[in-house]
């Protein structure tokens, strides 16, 4: 016996309403909610919590603390060691960005041409970027250390005595910058390679017909069309260099004293070694401000440069 199926008018109407709701922008906006919740819990809450802690004398462990106004910021700005650390941070951020992009662009131009072994060379240049920065730091530490370091053994063979490269404040900051450049120049190379492969060969063929030299083709075709890739690479390198931590911790731990420390490593030492969480939070807020201002300013000028070309 066949069952009786009753089709009401409300059924199709309800189905149509659900389909409209599923396709509406309102439903799409609800999809953002999980991501916003994650940002709120792991980004916004720690940020505002750190802002509050910077106005206290909290030691990082005790249940008791007092609000002391802007005393931590006064201490921070009057401390000559903080001035040294800010300069170091700028060297790590701006220096690494400069050399990563120059060397990365040269590698990209070289490896964009047809030739045997170019894929192998790309892999070799990029491999350091997939190594953990703390591991990379310790690799270079064992090469540069005073007693038994491979590079110091070579120096001893020629000079007759080892050199304390990692303990010299005039040298170790630049060594850290070079190690950071070496590790991440492969990232810049890959960004430039992707940009180069998006440039049509028609432009170069037309320029060759017009008799343009190699340098003219580079400055009038390649470089202007690489502007978006250059912007991406510079901003990524700037942010990475300004918050550098792992390589410094492995090579010098910020020493001697704070001579090679960055804002990240000094903040870590203030919190865990000196139990001065209030001052550490102030330093963290300074680092946030520094990275934001430099990155946004760079982005503004690079975007304007892109639009003008």
Query: Is the pLDDT confidence value at 258 over 70?
Result: yes
pLDDT tens, 204-241? 888 888 888 888 888 888 888 888 899 999 999 999 99
**pLDDT value of residue 11:** 55
149 closest CA partner among 72, 251, 57: 251
Confidence of residue 185 (pLDDT cuts 50, 70, 90): very high
Query: Is the pLDDT confidence value at 5 over 60?
Result: no
Portion of the chain with pLDDT greater than 90, in percent: 52
**pLDDT value of residue 118:** 84
pLDDT tens, 88-144? 999 999 999 999 999 999 999 998 887 778 888 889 999 999 999 999 999 999 999
168 closest CA partner among 264, 261, 259: 259
pTM exceeding the 0.85 threshold for the entire prediction? no
- Residue carrying the six token digits 């919590």: 49
For residue 256, cis peptide bond before it (omega within 30 degrees of 0):
yes
What is the DSSP-derived secondary structure letter of residue 162? -
Confidence of residue 307 (pLDDT cuts 50, 70, 90): low
């Amino acid at each position: 016996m066949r069952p009786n199926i009753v089709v009401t008018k409300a059924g199709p109407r309800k189905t149509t309403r659900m389909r409209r709701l599923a396709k509406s922008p309102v439903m799409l906006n609800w999809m953002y909610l999980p991501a916003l919740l994650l940002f709120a819990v792991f980004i916004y809450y720690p940020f505002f919590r750190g802002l509050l802690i910077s106005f206290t004398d909290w030691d990082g462990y005790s249940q008791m603390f007092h609000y002391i106004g802007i005393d931590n910021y006064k201490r921070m700005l009057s401390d000559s060691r903080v001035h040294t650390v800010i300069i170091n941070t700028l060297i790590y951020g701006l220096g690494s960005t400069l050399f990563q992009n120059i060397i990365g662009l040269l590698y990209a131009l070289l490896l964009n041409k047809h030739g045997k072994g170019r894929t192998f060379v790309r892999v070799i240049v990029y491999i350091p970027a997939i190594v953990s920065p703390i591991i990379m730091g310790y690799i270079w530490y064992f090469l540069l250390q005073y007693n038994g370091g491979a590079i110091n053994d070579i120096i001893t063979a020629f000079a007759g005595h080892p050199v304390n490269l990692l303990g010299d404040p005039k040298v170790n900051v630049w060594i850290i910058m070079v190690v950071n450049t070496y590790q991440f120049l492969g990232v810049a190379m890959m960004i430039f390679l992707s940009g180069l492969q998006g440039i049509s060969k028609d432009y170069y063929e037309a320029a060759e017909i017009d008799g343009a030299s190699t340098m003219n083709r580079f400055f009038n075709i390649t470089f202007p069309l690489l502007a978006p890739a250059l912007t991406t690479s510079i901003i990524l390198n700037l942010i990475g260099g300004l918050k550098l931590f792992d390589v410094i911790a492995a090579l010098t731990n910020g020493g001697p004293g704070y001579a090679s420390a960055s804002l990240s490593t000094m903040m870590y030492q203030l919190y865990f070694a000196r139990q001065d969480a209030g001052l550490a939070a102030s330093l963290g807020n300074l680092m946030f401000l520094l990275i934001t201002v430099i990155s946004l300013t760079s982005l503004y000028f690079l975007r304007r440069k892109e639009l003008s070309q």
